[in-house]
Chains A and B, each alone.
Chain A
Amino acid sequence: MTSPALLADWFRPGASTTAHYVDNLFYVISVICVFFFVLIIAMMAWFMWKYRARPGHREEHTAHHNNALEITWSVIPLILAIWIFFQGFVGYVAMRNTPQDAYEIEVIAQKWSWSFVYPTGAISPELHVPKDQPVKLILSSRDVIHSLYIPAFRVKMDCVPGRYNEMWFEATTASDEVKDPTWDNDQNNPELKYTDGSATYDEAAATEGYDLFCTEYCGTSHSSMITKCIVHDEAGFQEWMKKAMDPRSQGTPVEVGKQLYNRRGCAQCHTIDGTDRPGPGGPSFKGHYGETVTFKDGSTGKMDDNYIRESILNPQAKIRQGYNPIMPTFQGQLNEDEIFALRQYIRSLNDEEVNDWAPKEGEEGEEAEGESEEASADGPATPQEESAGDAEDDDEAPATAEQPATTDEADNADPEETESDD
């Protein structure tokens, strides 16, 4: 069904295989609504004009009821309603019948970010999906109810804590093929892209993805749970996956840490300019490293690498005085490399010396090769190039920090590798 011009502008083009069920029914209901609205309002307006009180005009007695008429105008809407229900039912069945061969992605929602976990073990804050392949999302929540909504695909499903919900879609248009400026309006307004100054998705994704919203109210930063769904073609998806598997391929630890800070929801509560946000927020990443801080129970402790790590994995363990225990855990969502990167990023904000990635060869080199063929083929090569380049940028750091870093990293790197082996 081709859409009327006005409605097409109003109701943007769908980009999934089931979107047409929604769009077609939307147009059909619109036609019915407009028909009845015009009918009722035109008659009302006509009567209002024709039978207005004026000198010499009197009401006329008419029948007080007319069963035939009343049954007619009850039965016709009833038939239409049943027909609309049936159309909706047909579309719903299609939207709820997940194809057998669907690619499965786990969605973990939490205040106030998304984690998309792929079968390969990769985790991303935006949703990356292959084009022309059914994708099944298994939705869960870590805290309160969230709801995943991609308007372009006309799909929505709640993420309810304590249960798994399921939805599926098949994207028909790769993100970078989207020419309709209404879908990627962001690039015209780089200043306004992050509506409250905090970035929740990366630059590249922002210009080419479909909007992905949270639609079930979830507290302070509900409106910041905006991210993107990026639809890749087959080759692009593999390429992206390779990169996503290895954080080291994306830059220095500080760069990766900064990216994680922006993309994994840290920015919603923790500033990087030293201003603390008590109550709904959290302490700043800047200005507290190495400080002795007081916890809620009155005890004190040092804000060091151990405390940062504990706060990421088990945030409720030690709550700083004056703050609410609202931070979600990132256990299972950040791998050791990423935690390392975040630590280095926090250190860098506090003018501490930062460490580079620990070399993967040596004690881990063998393991890495045995792990997965794709990752080992490209994986070690890229980070080496990257770190080589970075070493030139901040050349004073590695020299002094290399030694402690290796021991530090070695402790943490082992569990990570065992994790990836699974």
Chain B
Amino acid sequence: MIAQTDGANFNVPSGTRIENPQGPSYLTGGGIMSWVFTLDHKRIGVMYLVGVLTAFLLGGVLALLVRTELLTPQVDFFTNFVESTGDEPNIAAAKDAYNVAFTLHGAVMVFLFIIPSIPAAIGNFCLPMMLGAKDVAFPRLNLASFHLWVVGACFFLAALLTTGLDTGWTFYTPYSTTTSGPVIAATLGVFILGFSSIFTGINFVVTVNTMRPKGMTWFRMPLLLWSLYATAIIQVLATPVLAITVLLLTVEKAVGIGIFDPALGGDPVLYQHFFWFYSHPAVYIMILPAMGVISEVIPVYSRKHIFGYRFIAYSSIAIALLGFLVWGHHMFTSGQSNLTTVIFSFLTFSVSIPSAIKVFNWLATLYKGNIHYNAAMTYALAFMFLFTIGGLTGLYLGSLATVIHLHDTYFVVSHFHYVMMGGTLVAFLAALHHWWPKMFGKMYNELWANIAALMVFVGFNVTFFPQFILGTQGMPRRYASYKPEFEGLHQLSTFGSYLLGAGLTLAALVLVHSLFRGRKAPDNPWGAATLEWKCCSPPTHHNFEVNPLMGSPYVYDNFVEDPNGDGYYEVLPDFKREAAPAEQPAQT
């Protein structure tokens, strides 16, 4: 296996095997407090992971409740959750319960899961290692960011326990300032989570700028780092706007100053402008890291250098910048001026180009590869399928004539689920499966993980594709009850959501099972060339005992599959050994 030198252009050098020094894993040692107050980016990443997955479980259960209610046109399922008045079920209260469920589903998924999932959980774990650094630039700020996330999540939990938060995750005024629900608790939670997000962003920008070791140039950085860098810029620039917006909302609700509420002389559309000035770029906080993950996963499992590295890197920055200019497309029917509407429509189309470039580049990366269908790759390919649908359906929503009809219908619901869930969640799962051996030092069962991935893929499409049809037929979103003619498609969608739920549960079981019964992971199970695979699995506290050798993150020629099936190991090509003989002893 080592000397597979038969390939035409391929020649594995019969060099020396590089051994990793093994030290105590970052996972072991210390009590619970050593985790709570750790400054290790990997432990913070793992704690974030536990946090966002808990939030995802909560949001997912709420989603299934919402979908179950929509099995029938009438409000019936949620009547089980509310006190009935007399003999009749209390329909009004059941509708309120439904409204609370979809609001919390949206708010929890967006603020507690999707936004922090890849940047905070995966990014925290991977970014310093991929960069070749020992930690992030500000470890204490990093810890503070996690603690703030917990505090922010607690405010959400408070809103959940008191229930009655029924504004939708967007908190549109004047509904949010007039409703009796715990809007203040939730918006303060968003405010605090915003700081958590800003801290992570600052940390990543400074880390990438200042902590690249010698030899790690900008264009040797793995593409995940480019996308995390672009994401961090958005986090730092856009999140303060959200913080101020929700603060204004809180002050308006608590004290009654008239900023948004027309009854007090305010302007409710102003709120939408403020809110989407953050929340549209936030969509790219959600999807950019996902694109970064896919740019890492596809080359590794295709054993191919990523195609068009610079185009992908620049398109990440382009998306981050253009993402600031398109918020107005959420207000096409709000009565903003026609000129504004036309300009925002035009700008909206500009974002589609860098996204398209990435898809074509991933496709070209597959070309003439040697494609391994590991679970992470299955998720990455599923991402390409789902993101293509999500991206293309954006054309309907950017175009003015069609969006008037489709705005606020299930078409939009489906579109953003394809992008945010089919995109970000599936990429998050790809990332989780890709880096799982590195994070926990255990291999999961590839077959069952793949079955779970296929269930997620099929379940996702069955859930959300019918919603495109519902939307074009005029089914408005956020309806507790609906016209009977939509029943069939809603039922299909609900059954899909059960399959999706089952797939996700299976994926979770496979991963948790691996923690207890999994085979010990080799240092580099996939033969990836980025630096985190040069640490041992799981890494030691300071990641690298010595500064790792820089090379291209996408050249796999030096990685040789272990004949015992124990992952890949790196051999130094002969010319490198000759060129740098001094470094060789340092490695061992």
Contacts and interface: CB of A to CB of B under 8 A. Distances in A.
B399 A88 contact: yes
Interface string B156-170: 000000000010100
A276 B478 contact: no
A85 B309 CA distance: 29
B546 interface: no
Contacts of B400: 85, 88-89, 91-92
A402 B168 CA distance: 52
A315 to B, nearest CB: 14
Contacts of A10: 469, 472-473
B475 to A, nearest CB: 9
A229 to B, nearest CB: 12
A156 B412 CA distance: 14
B508 interface: no
Interface string A12-43: 10000000011001100100110011001101
A296 interface: no
A151 B483 CA distance: 13
Contacts of B403: 88
A392 interface: no
A44 B384 contact: yes
Nearest to B176: A144
Contacts of B469: 10
Contacts of B364: 69
Contacts of B352: 77, 81
A135 B484 CA distance: 29
A77 B371 contact: no
A136 to B, nearest CB: 14
Contacts of A185: 483-485
Interface in A180-212: 182, 185-186, 189, 192, 195-198, 211
A85 B269 CA distance: 24
B175 A144 contact: yes
Interface in B325-361: 333-335, 338, 341-342, 345-346, 349-350, 352-353, 356-357, 359-361
A275 interface: yes
A161 B384 contact: no
- Which of A51, A152, A186, A277 neighbours the largest number of chain B CB atoms within 10 Å of its CB? A51
Interface string B464-501: 00000100111011111111110000000000000000
Contact of B363 (A43, A89, A151, A324): A43
A398 interface: no
Contact of B399 (A87, A143, A224, A269): A87
B142 interface: no
Nearest to B172: A145
B145 interface: no
Interface stretch (A119-127, A213-221, A230-238, A340-348): A213-221
A215 B408 contact: yes
B404 interface: yes
B399 A275 contact: no
A59 B303 contact: yes
B92 interface: yes
Interface in B81-105: 85-88, 90-93, 95-96, 99
B267 interface: yes
B484 A223 contact: no
Nearest to A25: B401
Contacts of B384: 40, 44
Contacts of B401: 21-22, 25, 87-92, 95
Contact of B484 (A155, A189, A196): A189
Given A161-B268, A275-B88, A53 B407 contact: no
Interface in A63-115: 63-66, 69-70, 73-74, 77-78, 81-82, 84-85, 87-93, 95-96
A29 B86 CA distance: 53
B478 A217 contact: yes
A343 B476 CA distance: 35
B405 A154 contact: yes
B405 A22 contact: yes
A368 interface: no
Given A59-B368, A154-B404, A220 B88 contact: no
A151 B90 contact: no
Interface stretch (B7-15, B57-65, B114-122): B7-15
A77 B407 CA distance: 24
A214 B476 CA distance: 8
B24 interface: no
B407 A156 contact: yes
A85 B338 contact: no
B476 A74 contact: no
A144 B405 contact: no
B371 A160 contact: no
Contacts of B422: none
B402 A22 contact: yes
B9 A162 contact: no
B373 interface: yes
Contacts of A29: 395-396, 399, 402
Closest 10 CB pairs of A and B: A162-B262, A151-B474, A91-B401, A88-B399, A92-B400, A195-B481, A223-B479, A165-B335, A215-B408, A59-B370
